[in-house]
Amino acid sequence: MRRAGALRRRCTVARLEPPAELDLLRPSVGQVRGGAARPPVELHADVITPAEEDALAAEADRYLRARRYEAGHFDGVIRHYRELQRPLRSWSSASRSLFDRVASLAALPSGAELLPVHVLDLEAHGEISRHVDHVEYSGESIVGLSLLSHAVMLLQHEADPAAAFDLLLPRRSLYVLRGEARYRWAHSLPLQPSFEGQSLPPKSRRISVILRDRPPNEVPREV
Ligand code: MN
């Protein structure tokens, strides 16, 4: 028979620790739920300084200013956003050198021809639903630099959406989706960020700057 004293002692020892605070500046890849193997995903912390983030966001703002935020259709992929694409040569030299640094960190083949830089400005209440980037319009690597806010990206296997894992994307961090993570897993950006079941502070307005190589089988346009 169990003695009351021992039980009481055990209860005192088995105090629940409060959950550890998640560091919103440290990129993290969560465990896969639903039993699939996790594909390789690269995350890099602090690839630009706060001053470089300010300057790049200000430059993006100048180009975005003329555009209105769009609510997005209820069945559309993105809601509450504006976006643009701008060729590399049309950015300031400071931003071009940031993009060079990002491309080499992401191991894009040197000299790879990049598509125009995609800027996606998501309002605080914006969200992106599950999709795989178009295989005809984007290349083998999707390289995203997050500005102004943390966010969580959810990856779900195309064939089995119960297989899922979270990516915590701090501001100034970089993610690289390629291979299986780019083609076989769909990604989304939920409105309310939570990482492995732990809810995080709400995100704020976020700008992502996305570099992409050209699609491998792009057919040259006939003249
Ligand atoms: Mn995407």
- Convert the pLDDT of each residue in 19-77 to its tens digit: 556 789 899 999 999 988 999 999 999 999 999 999 999 999 999 999 999 999 777 89
Q: How far is the centre of ligand 1, averaged over its atoms, from the C-alpha of 192 (Å)?
A: 18
Q: Indicate the average pLDDT of the chain.
A: 89
CB 181 within 8 A of CB 37: no
Residues with CB under 5 A from ligand 1 (ion): 133
Average pLDDT over residues 138-164: 96
pLDDT reported for residue 17: 52
Count how many Cα atoms sit within 13 Å of the Cα of residue 218 in the half-sphere of its side chain.
Answer: 15
Question: How far away, in angstroms, is 132 Cα from ligand 1 center?
Answer: 6
Query: Among 183, 200, 194, 211, which residue's Cα sits nearest to residue 154?
Result: 194
Report percent pLDDT > 70 for the chain: 87
Beta bridge partners of 124: none
CA of 78 to the centre of ligand 1 (A): 10
Provide the H-helix boundaries in 81-218: 93-105, 180-183
Residue 148: pLDDT over 90? yes
Sign of the CA dihedral with 43 first, then 45, 192, and 31 last: positive
- C-alpha distances in angstroms, 34 versus 38, 132, 152, 161, 185? 11, 20, 19, 9, 13
Q: Who wins on pLDDT, 105 or 8?
A: 105
Give the distance (Å) from ligand 1 centre to CA of residue 127: 12
The residues near 159 (Cβ < 8 Å, ≥ 6 apart) are 184
Decide which of 18 and 48 is more confident: 48
Calculate how far, in angstroms, residue 165's C-alpha sits from the geometric centre of ligand 1.
Answer: 16
Q: Can you give the pTM of this predicted structure?
A: 0.87
pLDDT of residue 9: 47
- The model's confidence at residue 122, banded by pLDDT at 50, 70 and 90, is very high
> Is the pLDDT score of 2 beyond 50?
no
- Give 12-71 as a DSSP string: HH-PPPPPPPP-TTS-EEPPPBSSPPPPP-EEES--S-HHHHHHHHHHHHHHHTTSPPB-
DSSP reduced 3-state for 130: strand
Nearest to 188 by CA among 79, 28, 40, 73: 79
- What per-residue confidence (pLDDT) applies to 113? 87
Q: What is the pLDDT of residues 208-221, one digit of tens each?
A: 999 999 987 665 55
Instruction: Assign 178 to helix, strand or coil.
Output: strand
Whole-number percent of the chain with pLDDT over 90: 77
